[in-house]
Amino acid sequence: MFAAFPLLALPVLVYNLVALTLTGGFSAVDAPARMAEALFTIRMASNIDWSVSLGDLLLAAALVVLFIELLKSTTSRGVAIINHALSMILFIICLVQFLLAPAFATSTYFLITVMVLLDVLAGFIVTIVAARRDIDFSGGDA
């Protein structure tokens, strides 16, 4: 049953937890500042400091999870349909949060929402293509 769980819910959950820790919760307007605040810096070979923020780490993790989700969508097991349905519900939740809650009106959350949408679209498209290949046209005189 774990295969049916949309893994992109994890970055969404982490963002929700961060939003809940803000003053004002989901109504907080300082979420962009929290996402952009540097967590640590890395000295690059060019002698420039690269500041890594919470939003950067969250987006990097979401990209890795999106890759795993795209790999999962290529399976044609029955559980994939449940995964697609749950991914669609997750996208609707993300879209509502992005549009209605001030703490979610950030570029970081927008890009996570786009990743969830891409997971939904890729899942449906891959399933349709796989189903078209599974159709047997034997018995015809073509």
- Chain segment 35-80, per-residue pLDDT in tens: 899 999 999 999 999 999 999 999 999 999 999 988 887 776 778 8
Residue 22, phi then psi, degrees to nearest 5: -75, 150
Identify the pLDDT of residue 106: 93
Query: Does residue 37 sit within a domain?
Result: yes
Residue 38, phi then psi, degrees to nearest 5: -70, 130
Query: Does residue 141 sit within a domain?
Result: no
Query: Does residue 138 sit within a domain?
Result: no
Domain hosting residue 65, numbered range: 2-133
Identify the pLDDT of residue 135: 63
Domain count, the chain: 1
pLDDT value at 116 more than 80? yes
Identify the pLDDT of residue 44: 95
Question: Quick count: other Cβ atoms within 10 Å of Cβ 121?
Answer: 14
| pTM for this predicted structure | 0.85
pLDDT value at 132 more than 80? no
Query: Does residue 139 sit within a domain?
Result: no
7-37 core/surface letters (b: 16 or more CB in 10 A; e: else): bbbebbebbbebbeebeeeeebeebbebbee
Q: Within 13 Å and on the Cβ side, how many CA atoms surround 35?
A: 24
